[in-house]
A and B are shown apart, each in its own frame.
Chain A
Amino acid sequence: MAKLPIVTERLIEEFGPHLNTVPPGGFAPVGEPDRVVETHCCFCGQQCGIKLKVKENKVVGFEPWEEFPFNQGKLCPKGVKRYMQDEHPDRLKAPLLRAEGRGFVPTSWDDALDRTARAIKSIQEKHGKAAFAMLGGASLTNEKAYLVGKFARVALGTENIDYNGRLCMVSAAAASKKVLGIDRAANPWSDIPKAEVILVAGANIAECAPITTDYLWRARENGAKIIVLDPRMTPIARTADLYIPVRSGGDIGIFNGMLHVMIERGWIDRKFIAEHTTGWDALEKVLERYTPEHAGKIAGVPPRLIVQAAELWGPARSSFLLHARGIEHHSKGVDNCMAAINLVVATGRIGREGSGYAMITGQGNGQGGREQGQKADQLPGARDIENPEHRKHIASVWGVPEAVLPRKGLSAVEIFEAIHAGKIKGLLSICFNPMVSLPDQDFVREALEKLEFYATIEFFMSETARHADVVLAGSLLEEDEGTTTNVEGRVILHRKVVDPPEGARADWKIICDLASRLGYVNKFKYDSPRDIFEELRRASAGGISDYAGITWDRIEREHGVFWPCPSEDHPGTPRLYEGGRFGHADGKAHFQPVEWRPATEEPDEEYPLVLTTGRVVAHYLSGSQTRRIGGLVKQVPEPFCEMHPRLADKLGVSEGELVTVESRRGTVTVKAMIVRTIRPDTVFVPYHWPDERAINRCTIKALDPVSKIPEYKICAVRVRKATAEEAAAR
């Protein structure tokens, strides 16, 4: 059905989001807990170590975990308050069935699973295997991500399996693979403070990766110069040595322009280029046109800033480049990243202590989530689903004929397009909330409503789950155990902190239960997540992200192990590309010449402003968890529209006044936040909210042709004062 069974207001009344403002037992001192469990935060790819306090099988508080090397006790507000998602009034504690006019009614696990299996079989018999799709998520553990990929390919037999990392890391992944040969941060974070110059491109580190801040500041204390590219003056940009307020989508102008100046001044490493790279000549030819003047026009900044950046970056002896969604969320996201990586490789400053490159992974298991095979084009071990050797290896681990493994399927947004077009009729999802996170929300809603059957595994009733026929009450990260792979490529262990509440079930068990109802009981016989990890090790062996030598015992002993780690006596690989040996078969880095091109929808007379979207520090992704935590909602209760005073004056808007942001796809009414720290031609609205507060009603469903990432960072809008009706409708 996939239509709301009752009006949203009534669903919210029953399932939230409600705010958890008081810990279990009230604000009384915790006293001596029964247990203190060393584990990790669930919110973001840094995966900070944290200790959770447990009393009577309830998470009652936290304690910093100072011994964990990555964050040494440091936490952002989300980490501090993460324990408030436990013992939450909105927690789903039974499988639920959609009931027209009534909402959702609880049922037995057998009934919910039987219905789901029957619906899957019926759709697939009528319309073919591929008519049933699956969507996973990058907040799942490696074990669950592995299981989702295997379940889709083996039990569902569908090629249409993708995950919400498609909205996050895929541009960086594709670029890194193309130029360097491996999709992973090239260096451990401990290299950052040792660099002489650091370039941060499109990464609001203070809000989206707060723990990385101390690494940057430590570099600065050591004398490093910091360059920041961002249309908004972020907290890191405020005190950077060089802040370049690049126009959203203009980054190639900066990167190519810098390299143009560096060639002129002799600040490239020609020896390194000759010995360790291919493709330089083609790149150099393209760069000829990128004079500071030309590059400045593309980037929307004075040319002198590009020259200054080259002067800081060019002659340095060591350097580190970091980028994130700001350059990745574009219909040229892969090109943006490749232009950035070209800048690193041309100096030869990679693969050694204090010199390198990293993408800042966004989601909890953004790194591991894309390696274990829930991505449309990949099999476990970051293997290529179209490569016959790779297929053969995975088929043998899974004990199935290679021929039954589906080929490459559709990406997340394309799956919704296929649903909208009536080609995909059924969907099972876990850990993905497209009714907040996908662009062009009206289109997403229309698509969902066309589904014949939709089931989802959720611990809270997400905005998307409201559309489901069956909601399977799953588990929080702390109610199970498993590994994730952090921003550095370090595989770490989430320990089980408490049992799931009675009536809910561990995610991996739900997937196995469904597989057995689909006739694949033998392929999904696991005792525990550790059991799944053992199979994952074998599946990844010999692959790019090789976990074969990583054991849970080693992770505990060594505070995590970096992949590739091909054998148990291998120390793991904190730093890639040492000695200029890159990930391609020829051992070389492959320069990729990149030409700038406009965004899919540039501003025009009708819609004259650039809309860019992103996160705030108090919320995580679609907000399904953080919008339920009182302290975090208090910190940032609602979205807002950042605009420069010059624009506000033109629009006649004052601070806090309601404005309506309009694009060709939709409108949203939010409070104006008037700040000098943003480009006057750009407005910013954070995306964590649903329904009438969802800025993704306005964003565009344009995709990068290679990575298929949506263009969240630029589309054309106009902004005006909200009408009385719009204000009242909020």
Chain B
Amino acid sequence: MSERALFIDYARCIGCQACVQACEECDTHRGQPMIHLETIRRRDSVQTAPQVCMHCEDPICAQVCPADAIKKGPDGVVHSALTHRCIGCSNCVLACPFGVPKYFAAIDQMMKCDLCYDRTSVGKKPMCATVCPSQALTFMTPEELERTRRGRAVNEWVFGEERVRTKVSVVVPHEVKEVHVNLVQLGKRREKAEPDDVAALLEEG
């Protein structure tokens, strides 16, 4: 059987922030959550989305780091910046296509989600995926995911011209083979009626 891996299933997320509250309980960064929970557009919808580090095969954060402070282990886990090397320049914060690394001014360092290395390296699940009430974040084998989820797991991303493969996968509808993020469209207002507008649902027809 394959190793267990982390999956994000956005359709399940209920925005409860259990992941954020639990992330900051981890001994390696206690008091500071590394996970992000995005409220997409609260005015229009209750949709939310958790964002952990995707642990890129060729991490962009490491590529842009001038101090060579960001290391990927043989198990594919991309770690927080090495304390002695990180110069706090925030290149990684700006470059990460998923917006994951965080700069902490108090310590002039970057820190990020390291897949709960203290837990996963000893066979436990990451904290966020353990507590997540909706299991939008889940830690299981790909076979188990295949068996228990309707969608398929995808770890291929296309950002404009750039292709990225990640250790963490997202669960998407079966017809989707890779996730295209068209940067030009970000922030553009939708023309059509909002799908989650209750007033529209109440209208006849």
B12 CB within 8 Å of chain A: yes
User: What's the Cα separation between A618 and B16 when bound, in Å?
Assistant: 8
| Contact residues of B between 1 and 41, Cβ < 8 Å to A | 11-18, 20-22, 24-25, 27-28, 30-31
Contact with A along B61-100 (1 / 0, CB 8 A): 0000000000000000000000000000000000000000
Top 5 A-B pairs, shortest CB-CB distance: A27-B31, A206-B14, A29-B27, A210-B133, A235-B14
Q: A214-B134, A235-B46 are in contact. List 19 more A-B contacts (CB 8 A).
A: A23-B30, A27-B30, A73-B131, A74-B18, A74-B132, A75-B131, A77-B16, A206-B14, A206-B15, A210-B134, A217-B134, A221-B150, A233-B45, A238-B45, A245-B198, A301-B202, A646-B199, A676-B196, A679-B198
Cross-chain pairs A/B with CB under 8 angstroms, 17 sampled: A30-B27, A73-B131, A77-B20, A77-B21, A210-B14, A211-B133, A213-B14, A213-B134, A214-B133, A217-B135, A238-B45, A301-B202, A302-B204, A635-B21, A676-B194, A676-B196, A677-B46
Chain B residues whose CB sits within 8 angstroms of the CB of A677 once the complex forms? 45-46, 196-198
Is B182 engaged at the interface, CB distance under 8 Å to the other chain? no
A293 to chain B, nearest CB (A): 11
Interface size band for A: 35 or more
- Is there contact, CB below 8 Å, between A81 and B21? yes
A675 close to B42 (CB less than 8 A): yes
Please state if B199 and A61 are interface contacts (CB–CB under 8 Å).
no
Question: Is the CB of B185 closer than 8 A to any CB of chain A?
Answer: no
Q: Is B199 touching A644 in the complex (CB atoms < 8 A)?
A: yes
B17 to A: closest C-beta gap in Å: 5
Residues of chain A lying within 8 A (CB to CB) of residue B13: 235
CA distance in complex: A62, B131 (Å): 11
Interface contact B199-A80, CB-CB below 8 Å: no
Taking a contact as CB atoms closer than 8 A, the residue among B12, B17, B198 that contacts A233 in the complex is B198
Q: Does residue A79 face the partner (Cβ distance < 8 Å to B)?
A: yes
Q: Could you tell me the distance in whole angstroms from the C-beta of B131 to the nearest C-beta in chain A?
A: 4
Q: Determine if B42 and A62 form an interchain contact, defined as CB atoms under 8 angstroms apart.
A: no
- Taking a contact as CB atoms closer than 8 A, the residue among A206, A235, A302 that contacts B203 in the complex is A302
Nearest Cβ on chain A to B122's Cβ, whole angstroms = 13
Does chain A have a CB within 8 A of B57? Answer: no
Interface flags, A236-252, vs B, CB<8A=1, else 0: 10110001010000000
Chain A residues within 8 Å of B, Cβ to Cβ: 22-23, 27-31, 61-62, 64, 66, 71, 73-77, 79-81, 206-207, 210-211, 213-214, 217-218, 220-221, 232-236, 238-239, 243, 245, 300-302, 617-618, 631-632, 635, 644-646, 655, 673-680
Report B-chain residues with C-beta under 8 Å of the C-beta of A31.
27
Q: Which residue of A lies closest to B47 (CB)?
A: A238
Q: Are A66 and B130 in contact (CB under 8 A)?
A: yes
Complex CA–CA separation, A214 to B9 (angstroms)? 12
Residues of B in contact, count (CB < 8 Å) = 45
CA distance A29 to B202 in the complex (A): 52
On whether the beta carbons of A676 and B132 are closer than 8 Å, the reply is: no
Contact between A676 and B199 (Cβ–Cβ < 8 Å)?
yes
- Please state if A234 and B46 are interface contacts (CB–CB under 8 Å): yes
A221 lies within 8 A of B133 (CB): no
Please give the distance in Å from B135's CB to the nearest CB on chain A. 5
Q: Are A302 and B198 neighbours in the complex by a CB distance under 8 Å? A: no
Bound: A677/B44 CA distance, A: 7
Q: Does B180 contact A (CB under 8 A)?
A: no
Q: Say yes or no: B148 contacts A218, CB within 8 Å.
A: yes
* B135 partner residues in chain A, CB cutoff 8 A: 74, 214, 217
* A617 and B17 within 8 A (CB): yes
Determine whether B149 belongs to the interface, using a CB cutoff of 8 Å to chain A: yes
Tell me, rounded to whole Å, the shortest Cβ–Cβ distance linking A360 to chain B. 14
Partner of B202, one of A211, A213, A232, A245: A245
Residues of B within 8 A of A678 (CB): 198
| A217 vs B203: C-alpha distance when bound (angstroms) | 29
Question: B115-152 vs A: 1/0 string, CB under 8 Å?
Answer: 00000000001010011111100000000000011100
How far does the Cβ of A308 sit from chain B's closest Cβ, in whole Å?
12
Q: A62-B25, A213-B134 are contacts. A239–B42 as well, Cβ < 8 Å?
A: no
> Across the two chains, which residue of chain A brings its CB closest to B10?
A239
A591 to B: closest C-beta gap in Å: 31
Give, as a whole number of angstroms, the nearest-CB distance from B117 to chain A.
Answer: 14
